[in-house]
């Protein structure tokens, strides 16, 4: 990577997010360092009370009421994040060439919310499909959240979503990296979004699978690596970055959050839902190889661990293999889902946003809710319950894995000339 020209070096220059912990990087980061989870109990159609990570961003900030009425929650999350990212980047939006902007958003799923709502709607009319809304198709096409961003912002370059289960947030960023390197676009709005808490099917599916978290205290329900973990807390959220070639970022004197230096996506090819440590190991290794880095160079490994009994063990096994504590004294391992639950398609991008401030503050946010560490999850370098002072943080590896055996690892580096 160091041999690449500056036009092939891709940097992140702005971030817009919404999360259960707040709606900007600084607010989210402060809660992560305070060790504060924010999970709510919500009422779910057909199911009763469930735990969920809920976002409370001001959708009216960037959308009219009619736009909100006609669009989707995923679209609204995406518009908020995209607009906030552009604002954060300091780009003079009016002077941006809109045909040269690409929107690449990772999604775990899309359309469940609207389909469930419409089936509920026509159930009130004896399932007469004359009452099925004409908004159904534009709301449920898979490109919907990215398309809503282009409509809202007047972007005429390419837009699409990347369906990659819960690896999607990273996949969106990786897609943008490719398109910028290919010269297809000059500015990318990329990341991931999720509206999944508005569909009972996701919750019911995890429950039937024995993978839905439950705890007396919702804030303790998502507890990766803890012996008492019993499943996933489903969350909504989004994180979208402005990404540019280093040459362009330099030319406008942009603030640079980080450089995206390595990535990899691979497939387990063994099981639809059970993760596979061997492929995860290969994925992390390949991402580091592309970055021209060794495991010992990595300061933070932000795990995907979702608080399921089996999944966490598999990932920790992979992390121990790639980053043995004795050979990687700088490396620290953490997890963000213990605070916000699993933001599905947004998870990779959103969890990265929670860790990027480490490049400036030198701290590693902890994994919380670990009352009794599961020995099978002990990687030897977990940051548990209290932030760790790392000194200088230079490299973060961000894992995001998903169903059907998709693995993604992203490597970002503190920017240095």
Q: Are strands 48-53 and 234-235 parallel, antiparallel or unpaired?
A: parallel
DSSP structure string for 238-287: EEEEEEEEHHHHHHTT----EEEEEEEEEE--S-SSS--HHHHHHHHHHH
Of 55, 81, 166, 258, the catalytic one is 166
Q: Where are the alpha helices (DSSP H) in 90-194?
A: 112-123, 136-140, 144-153, 168-181
Q: Is 130 in the site for another protein (CB under 8 A)?
A: yes
Q: Is 125 in the site for another protein (CB under 8 A)?
A: yes
Return d(Cα 106, Cα 348) in angstroms, integer. Answer: 9
Return d(Cα 128, Cα 236) in angstroms, integer. Answer: 31
Among 7, 46, 58, 64, binds another protein (CB under 8 A): 64
Q: Is 129 in the site for another protein (CB under 8 A)?
A: no
Among 3, 69, 126, 253, binds another protein (CB under 8 A): 69
308 token code pair: 């399921």
Q: Is 65 in the site for another protein (CB under 8 A)?
A: yes
Q: Is 126 in the site for another protein (CB under 8 A)?
A: no
Considering the complex, state which of residue 3 and residue 66 has its C-beta at the smaller distance from another protein. 66
Residue 206 near residue 112 (C-beta atoms within 8 A):
no
22 token code pair: 């707040």
304 is catalytic: yes
166 is catalytic: yes
Considering the complex, state which of residue 148 and residue 315 has its C-beta at the smaller distance from another protein. 148
Considering the complex, state which of residue 88 and residue 118 has its C-beta at the smaller distance from another protein. 118
Q: What is the DSSP letter of 405?
A: T
Q: Is 140 in the site for another protein (CB under 8 A)?
A: no
327 token code pair: 């050979």
Q: Is 135 in the site for another protein (CB under 8 A)?
A: yes
Residue with tokens 């099981």: 271
Q: Is 133 in the site for another protein (CB under 8 A)?
A: yes
Among 70, 143, 230, 321, binds another protein (CB under 8 A): 70
136 is catalytic: no
Positions touching another protein (CB under 8 A) are 64-66, 69-70, 125, 130-131, 133-135, 138
Q: Which residues are known to be catalytic? A: 166, 304, 342
């Amino acid at each position: 990577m160091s041999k690449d020209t500056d036009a092939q070096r891709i940097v992140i220059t702005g971030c817009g997010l919404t999360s259960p912990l707040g709606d900007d990087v600084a607010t989210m980061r402060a809660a992560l360092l305070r060790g504060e989870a924010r999970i709510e109990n919500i009422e779910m159609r057909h199911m009763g009370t469930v735990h969920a990570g809920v976002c409370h961003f001001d959708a009216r900030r960037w959308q009219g009421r009619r736009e909100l009425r006609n669009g989707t929650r995923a679209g609204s999350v995406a518009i908020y994040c995209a607009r906030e990212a552009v604002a954060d980047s300091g780009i003079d939006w009016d002077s941006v060439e809109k045909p040269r902007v690409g929107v690449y958003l990772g999604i775990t799923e899309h359309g469940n919310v609207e389909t469930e709502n419409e089936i509920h709607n026509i159930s009130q009319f004896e399932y007469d499909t004359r009452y099925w809304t004409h908004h159904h198709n534009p709301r449920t096409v898979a490109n919907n959240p990215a398309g809503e961003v282009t409509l809202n912002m007047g972007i005429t370059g390419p837009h699409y979503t990347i369906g990659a289960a819960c690896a999607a947030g990273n996949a969106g960023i990786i897609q943008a990296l490719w398109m910028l390197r290919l010269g297809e676009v000059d500015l990318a709005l990329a990341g991931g979004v999720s509206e999944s808490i508005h569909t009972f099917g996701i919750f019911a599916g995890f429950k039937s699978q024995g993978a839905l978290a439950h705890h007396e205290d919702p804030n303790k329900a998502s507890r990766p690596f803890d012996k008492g973990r019993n499943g996933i807390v489903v969350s909504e959220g989004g994180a979208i970055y402005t990404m540019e070639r280093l040459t362009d970022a330099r030319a406008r004197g942009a603030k640079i959050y980080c450089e995206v230096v390595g990535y990899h996506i691979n497939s387990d090819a063994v099981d639809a839902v059970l993760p596979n440590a061997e492929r995860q190991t290969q994925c992390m290794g390949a991402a580091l190889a592309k970055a021209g880095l060794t495991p010992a160079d990595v300061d933070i490994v932000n795990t995907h661990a979702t608080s399921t009994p089996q999944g966490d063990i598999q990932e920790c096994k992979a992390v121990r293999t790639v980053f043995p504590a004795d050979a990687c004294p700088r490396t620290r391992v953490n997890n963000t889902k213990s605070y916000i639950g699993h933001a599905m398609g947004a998870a990779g991008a959103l969890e990265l946003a929670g860790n990027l401030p480490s490049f400036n503050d030198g701290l590693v946010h902890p994994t919380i809710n670990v009352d009794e560490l599961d020995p099978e999850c002990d990687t030897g370098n977990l940051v548990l319950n209290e932030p760790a002072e790392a000194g200088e943080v230079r490299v973060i590896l961000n894992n995001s894995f998903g169903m059907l055996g998709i693995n993604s690892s992203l490597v970002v580096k503190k920017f240095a000339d």
